[in-house]
Structure 1
């Protein structure tokens, strides 16, 4: 038996740090990855896809958002899709799952809402034992009933659940807690988990798939953006689990201390080479510090403008301070503009602390205005 394990699609997720265009693209890719999961299943000869909760990001999605992932799965009638409720989309009365039941699911999509074991595919060689959530937070183990779940003798038992196997504090602040040895206790051939957004192996029979499309800057290093292909030769066979990249976007955190043009050039080279063939799929959160001359500050700003146009998203925290040089005033030519720049430069370097940031900002804006003006010099008229 071969199947694909995925989770935490969180359709409808809002990315508050992104502009409208970027947010729309990120949300679209959370839908498009469903197609890539189906294609992966077909390419690997898998009969089914199990989705370990959090199909949706909110309990009350609008009608279009509700239907969109279902329609994506409908396009793969040769695959059996098995869904459970997670903490973002729990099975509450009148909620998402009742709405979907009223609409009617395609024949190839099964929402496991009553906890009953169900054949994974028409052959019936494997059965899904679900452990979905009926509230956002539950104090009991959502997989506890798997121990006594009835399946035909000799079949492969696959648990499907959403929650945490790690203790992050007292039970009141650590809901949906799953026994770390549930696979052994329940005689499971494999336990497919969702909730953690990074891929994690708990033991040889217990895995988190992670979200198939990375959704934050803290996800890139822990396996997000993948799906798992699981092969089981029989009920007692050791699972063969392989990770496959399905996500489109690359999320990258970086930091830089800038002291001159060499540092600026090195930063630009580094960020452009995250994905030199397709920079438009890269999102970067950059932390900056250092000190630059006014001329170098202009070069830095030009670099940021170029990178912001090349990358899908460039989020910047901090900025270099101004370290005035004697020849900085030459940027302003002669006349009133140069005199204004001289006064701002002095205040930025030696003025009262509360005035320095204001002076630096004003000097940078003045330099940018002069640079953009015809002739590029600040001769007053």
Structure 2
């Protein structure tokens, strides 16, 4: 027996990112729905028999009706059977999105929600078994216990669809929501399950040593820390083998970028880096800067960073990695054409900056910009 299917997870439709402005947020939200259609194309190209989505299909149980209906339309692009699992963000609790009339009306007939552990048979010889979350705070291991409870092996290939964090991936944390890796691996080695399709971790990750336990990651990146987001997994499963291939489908990029700057080549290199990045409208940058700049240099840096918001999805100053000192004895300050109270305020800011006042340094750079002192 052999079967090919796709494994996805963590669509989190309706997700909001606080670092995106309204226009970029709208494009980001639509990209997560568009990813469903891209999964449909991959399913056709790989001749996938079915698709499993391992939890957190929606960002929350209370999502906009329009998002639900758009998701239903996008799912029509996947022509094979699709199985959706409730996760911790969209668990099967009272008022769940899964019981809303908007969703039940929007879902195509080939899409099924795994609301229980009853085996589904998308093709002969294959069983898909769900381990849905029934609340945001489960009382027991959400994957290990269902894996251990699977019946003895039979002639079918079994795919367990689950959601949760393995204990080994979050060392030192004791939490009732954690998954016991030993239980899951034991179920695999006993052939109670042939593949464990997981969600919750946003980076593609193989867990354990069987090669049959995988996180699919999120189809569109959500944070710069994610190591391998933007993928869907093509799984080829037989009685004796399991071959998993990540296939890129993501369109957004998120970077953490830290640079050393000075008044010359450092600022020029940062400007070139910004200019060289592809697809800026779908790129978020969390920027860290270290160095010492003149007031003129600081003003140039501020103007450079501020200008990127007009072309990038967002550029955010990273407070933990933003360590720029300003040199107040800049000859450029003496050349500014200000007199009277303005000159007195300028001199006070220079003195405060020299005494290490970070707020005064920022005000001094702003003052320099406002009077047109940028070279």
Query: TM class, shorter-chain normalised?
Result: 0.7 to 0.9
Q: Distance in 2 between matches of 1:357 and 1:145?
A: 55
Write out aligned runs for 1:148-159 (5 A).
Answer: 149=150, 153-159=154-160
Contact 2:167 2:173 in 1 (8 A): no
CA distance in 2, matches of 1:163, 1:338: 60
Which residue is 2:115 aligned to? 113
Native 8 Å contact 2:86 2:132 kept in 1: yes
| Counterpart residue number, 1:38 | 40
The correspondence of residues 69-108 of structure 1 with structure 2, limited to 5 A, is 69-76=71-78, 78-99=79-100, 102-103=104-105, 105-108=107-110
Structure 2: give runs of 5+ residues left out of the alignment: none
Alignment partners' CA distance in 2, 1:113 and 1:333: 72
8 A contact 2:142–2:177 mirrored in 1? no
Deviation at 1:342, TM superposition (A): 5.3
Match of 1:141 in 2: 141
Structure 1 residue 274, shift from structure 2 partner? 3.7
Q: TM-score, normalised by structure 2?
A: 0.87
Q: Which residue of structure 2 aligns with residue 242 of structure 1?
A: 245
Shift of 1:347: 1.6
Q: Deviations over 1:174-195 (max 9, x none)?
A: 4152434132345222111111
CA RMSD of aligned residues (A): 2.7
1:261–1:299 Cα contact (<8 Å) kept: no
Contact 2:9 2:199 in 1 (8 A): yes
Aligned to 1:304: 305
TM-score (norm 1): 0.86
Correspondence for 1:343 among 333, 337, 347 = 347
The residue aligned with 1:313 is 314
Distance 2:19 2:176 in 1: 27
1:226 corresponds to which residue? 231
Q: Which structure is larger by alpha-carbon Rg, 1 or 2? A: 1
* Rounded Cα–Cα distance in structure 2 between residues aligned with 1:196 and 1:73: 23
Asked if the contact 2:75–2:107 (Cα under 8 Å) also holds between the matched residues in 1, the reply is: no
Greater relative contact order (Cα < 8 A, sep 6+) = 2
Tell me which moved more, 48-57 or 151-160: 151-160
Residue pair 1:139, 1:177 contacting (<8 A) in 2 also: no
Deviation at 1:171, TM superposition (A): 8.3
Q: How does 1:202-281 map to 2 (within 5 A)?
A: 202=207, 203-219=210-226, 222-232=227-237, 234=238, 236-275=239-278, 278-281=279-282
Which structure 1 residue ranges, 5 or more long, are not aligned? none
Counterpart Cα distance in 2 of 1:93 and 1:369: 56
